[in-house]
Structure 1
């Protein structure tokens, strides 16, 4: 057993009594109230999910295991010659809450490489798909195709409930290790005439992904940063919740994560980064080659709003400040591509848009989210097929959601089954001023 898996077992055994005490001794303690608007409006802000892996504060932003983004980047072991931590170190951290040593990080790297070989039938399935398939459909299909090799599913009937986490961990680790090659294969198959680049043993996940994509340094650091920033955003977002929901039926990691990817592919979730870059490219054309200034960008933003359209990449369901993931990517751009025309435009929009949106008064959060920045970096490094960007999001999101469902099985969380009400019931309670 690897150090990560043995440490994870220790953490699970320490954590189980906490959940048992809460459910047995404090089951009836009320922690929230539900309004009609929340019932109709997508269960927004209802406190009904549990995760210790990340938490999203409206003002502070995301915290991974209690650490914000700068603290996470500073604490974890970095890749040799790189500016950012390895994905392997981050995986150890998400699962345990502990900062791994270099030796523990190297052990995860070796473990991933022992798991990373993608079954040949996956590539056959991808080659058989229509050439105009969306890359997210291809990624979800590839994940689902591997379900036949699920260890969790094959050992389900012989595994005790307290040990479900073990086989879920195995499936989750296999998936995380294989996803970079699958994603790079989809890219090279679809956009580079099938000129596939084989993985290179010995490289960490970020460096190997950059190698298989055929993109030179510092894209290895871009990959590390991107996968970590997009890994998790607590459990209420669509991809995380869908993965958790399907796994609560004791579906394996392949079924569950494929469902999460299908949710991520929606334009109100992961597909938004594709939508944002498309809008920015159109915005750039409207400037007719003029250097972006606060004046001409402000006018163009008002033109967008007055025509009945929104400013994509601005606003967030939870955050009420600039998304720290946006800030982290902006800092990368300021260091590595400060004079890139597309970045200069995005940065000018950032300076102007919050004031315009505040003046318009129709948004609760006039600040940018992660999608407002992420596509610019990919474009700069030559990845200009922006319908592929959500695949990158999906590879990163796997880290958080698969860590979460491993812990879901470790703590024995039950089948998720909310109770529905009818419109007539809501109208009755509305007339009475509440449910009596």
Structure 2
């Protein structure tokens, strides 16, 4: 047993009594109320999910295990010459809430190296798909195709409930170790004439992914940063919630994560980064090569709004200030590509758009989210096929959702089954002023 798995087992055994006590002694304590607009409006802000992996505050943004993004980057170990921590060290942190040593992070690297070989049939399945299939279809299909490898599924009938986490953890590690090669294969197969670059598993996950993509330094740091920033966003977003929901039926990690990827592919979720960059490129074309200024960008933004369109990449379901994930990527751009024309335009939009949106008065949050910035970095380093961007998001999102479902099984969380009501019931309650 690796040190991470042994430490995770200790943390699980420490945590279980807390959940048991809450259910037994305080299970009927009321923590929230549901309104009609929440019921109809997608269960927005209803407090009915539990995760200790991350928390999203409307002002602070995401906290990973209690740490803000800059605190996370500063605390985790980095390889010599790298600006960002390894994904391996972040995996340890999300699972345990503890900062690993460099030695512990390297142990995870070696563990992932032993798990990384992708079955040949997965590539056969991908080659059998129409080559113009969306990359997210390919990624989701590849994950689902590997379900036959599930250790949880094979062991299920011989397991006790308290042991479900063990093989879920094994599936999560197996899947996470293989995803970078699958994603890089999809990219090289679709966009680089099938010129596949074999993995170098002496490298950490971020550096090996950059190597397999065929993109030189500092793209290894871009990959580390991107995967960590996109890893988790508490449990209520579509990809995290879908993965949790499907896993709550005791479907294994392959079934659950494939379903989560299908949710991530929607334009109101992960596909938004693709749409944002497409809009920015069109925006740049309309400016006819003019240097972005407050005046011409403001005029162009008003043209967008007055034509009945939104400004993509702005606004967020929870946040009420600039997304710290946007800020982290902006700081990278300021250091590595300050004079890039696309970044200069995005940066000017950032300075102008909040004022325009506030003046328009139709949005609660006029500030940029992570999607407003992420595509610019990928484009700069030559990854100009923006329908692939959600695949990058998917690899990162795996870290958070797989950590979450491991803990879901460890704590014995129940099958998720909300109760529905009818429109007539809502109308009746509305007339009476409430259901009580």
TM over 0.5: yes
| Cα offsets for 1:28-51 (capped at 9, x unmatched) | 100000000000000000000000
Give the 3-state SS of the residue equivalent to 1:196 in structure 2. coil
Aligned residues: 436
The residue number in structure 2 matching 1:81 is: 81
The residue number in structure 2 matching 1:345 is: 345
Alignment of 1:98-117 (within 5 A): 98-117=98-117
The residue number in structure 2 matching 1:141 is: 141
Alignment of 1:360-379 (within 5 A): 360-379=360-379
* C-alpha displacement of 1:287: 0.3
Give the 3-state SS of the residue equivalent to 2:259 in structure 1. helix
The residue number in structure 1 matching 2:155 is: 155
| Counterpart-to-counterpart distance in 1, 2:277 and 2:146 | 32
| Counterpart-to-counterpart distance in 2, 1:367 and 1:304 | 17
Matched, 1:93 2:117: no
Give the 3-state SS of the residue equivalent to 1:85 in structure 2. coil
| Counterpart-to-counterpart distance in 2, 1:76 and 1:350 | 29
* C-alpha displacement of 1:162: 0.1
| Counterpart-to-counterpart distance in 2, 1:289 and 1:333 | 21
Matched, 1:314 2:314: yes
The residue number in structure 2 matching 1:48 is: 48
Give the 3-state SS of the residue equivalent to 2:67 in structure 1. coil
The residue number in structure 2 matching 1:305 is: 305
* C-alpha displacement of 1:423: 0.3
Matched, 1:430 2:434: no
The residue number in structure 1 matching 2:168 is: 168
| Counterpart-to-counterpart distance in 1, 2:119 and 2:201 | 17
The residue number in structure 1 matching 2:283 is: 283
| Counterpart-to-counterpart distance in 2, 1:196 and 1:288 | 38
Give the 3-state SS of the residue equivalent to 1:251 in structure 2. coil
Alignment of 1:25-44 (within 5 A): 25-44=25-44
| Counterpart-to-counterpart distance in 2, 1:199 and 1:258 | 23
Give the 3-state SS of the residue equivalent to 2:289 in structure 1. coil
* C-alpha displacement of 1:269: 0.1
The residue number in structure 2 matching 1:292 is: 292
* C-alpha displacement of 1:301: 0.1
* C-alpha displacement of 1:81: 1.4
Give the 3-state SS of the residue equivalent to 2:62 in structure 1. strand
* C-alpha displacement of 1:80: 2.3
The residue number in structure 2 matching 1:127 is: 127
| Counterpart-to-counterpart distance in 2, 1:292 and 1:348 | 7
* C-alpha displacement of 1:79: 2.1
| Counterpart-to-counterpart distance in 2, 1:110 and 1:44 | 41
| Cα offsets for 1:204-260 (capped at 9, x unmatched) | 000000000000000000000000000000000000000000000000000000000
The residue number in structure 2 matching 1:22 is: 22
| Counterpart-to-counterpart distance in 1, 2:265 and 2:92 | 27
Structure 1 vs Structure 2 CA RMSD: 0.3
Give the 3-state SS of the residue equivalent to 1:224 in structure 2. helix
| Cα offsets for 1:124-143 (capped at 9, x unmatched) | 00011001100000000000
